[in-house]
Structure 1
Amino acid sequence: MSTMNISLPETLKSFVDEQVAGRGFGTSSEYVRELIRRDQDRQRLRGLLLDGASSAIGTTADTGYFDQLRERARTQAKR
């Protein structure tokens, strides 16, 4: 694992220390890693949403669509 050193103003360091103590993180590194993972997840979700928004219009999600979806789920569950 690589090491990265960062400088924080005292107010941010205090905040990190409070989060570590209050939320069950073992170290400030664990807390920062969790923040980075969440940011990666947000960016991935944003990309998926943008891809979906720019894609062609699909079928209408009406009652028939959901009936077919339920039937597919039941069929898969029986296997």
Structure 2
Amino acid sequence: MPQLNISVPDGLKDWADARVAEGSYASASDYVRDLMRRDRERREQLARLQAEIDIGRASGVDPRPAREVLAEIRAKHLGTG
């Protein structure tokens, strides 16, 4: 596995060491890998959300009252109306 060497302030090193000491992670490297995976997943989720927002904004404004639109959504997804 490739290596990545990083420098962190004492406070962050202590924080990582504490996560290892409490048994949450096997090593500081394990902790950093987990943080990086979570960051990647979060960014992917945000990208998907932004894409959906862009689709919604591009679709324009529905001229119907919000109550009518919500009733249609409920009927479609919850089987109520």
Classify the TM-score, shorter chain: 0.7 to 0.9
Q: Are residues 23 and 51 of structure 1, via their aligned partners in 2, closer, same or farther at CA, if it must alter by over 3 Å?
A: farther
Segments of structure 2 that go 5 or more residues without pairing to the other structure are 60-68
Q: Which amino acid aligns with 1:32?
A: V
Provide the alpha-carbon RMSD of the alignment.
1.7
Q: Once the two structures are aligned, what percentage of the paired residues are identical?
A: 30
1:33 matched to 2:44? The reply is no
* TM alignment of 1:23-62, pairs within 5 A: 23-56=23-56, 57=59, 62=73
What secondary structure sits across from 1:30 in the alignment?
helix
Q: Which amino acid aligns with 2:3?
A: T
TM-score by length of 2: 0.71
The alpha carbon displacement at 1:24 in A equals 2.3
Q: Distance in 1 between matches of 2:30 and 2:8?
A: 16
Q: Which amino acid aligns with 1:64?
A: A
Q: Which amino acid aligns with 1:5?
A: N
The alpha carbon displacement at 1:63 in A equals 2.5
| Partner in structure 1 of residue 76 of structure 2 | 65
